[in-house]
Structure 1
Amino acid sequence: MNLLQKYIFVPLDIFKQIQHNENRAIKIETRLEAWLAFLCMDEPEAIIEIIERYPDFREMYTQVYEICRNVEEVMNMFSKELIELDRNTTKLMIDEMQKDIEQKEKELKKKDEEIQKLKEELQKQK
């Protein structure tokens, strides 16, 4: 991919599989592994290990936990996003329909011009 900025794509599912395939307790050895585990693991053992090794992750886990406890707020958040998605989808559909209408109008105008030319030729022949 040709991107304007430098990005690193990390397959979290593969990281999680590697962590689970190791026949040992989940080991978080670097801060990068802690971030990857934070993003993809929800096992209590992994969470405890991350928090013990990197205490600054506790606040983030607390925020995530509070969001998950307040199911109504989560549903409202999803509802707002769905409303925005619906609005954007509707706008996109209207824009596409407008383009189609403009294209059809151009085609009709060309056909009308052709018909007019044919009528003129027919009149000349008569």
Structure 2
Amino acid sequence: MVVISAVAALEAAALLVAAGWYALQLLTGAPVLSFWGAVFTLGLLLAFSAWLFAVGHFLFRGYRWPRAGALVAQLFALTIGFPTLMGGYPLAGLAMLVPAAVAIVLLFDKRVIAYASRVGGSPPAL
């Protein structure tokens, strides 16, 4: 579980760095086709980063629901990693493919499934 949580947290941190770089490019006047489209893309990077941080955190705490979110994030990483690898950027492609493959395999390990069986507690009484 620690490995999967770390992979999700590192991917979230990478997205946060990418969002920071993207925002810096927008502020320095890099040419874009649509300013509001670029702002929307920046918002998506920030939202996906926050979502991955939450997935990593709640996976580590043993909740059940983040397993699906972690799987979807790793499938997205595979979807981006293969074209990156084949497009002439082997290190960047491997940096996306290897952690995603490891996380996917570990998500279906019986120890991870047993650990991630916690559900939300009952609502607090007034």
Is the pair's TM-score, using the shorter chain for normalization, greater than 0.5? no
Work out which structure has the larger RCO, using CA pairs closer than 8 Å and 6 or more positions apart in sequence.
2
TM-score with structure 2 setting the length: 0.29
Higher alpha-carbon Rg? 1
TM-score with structure 1 setting the length: 0.29
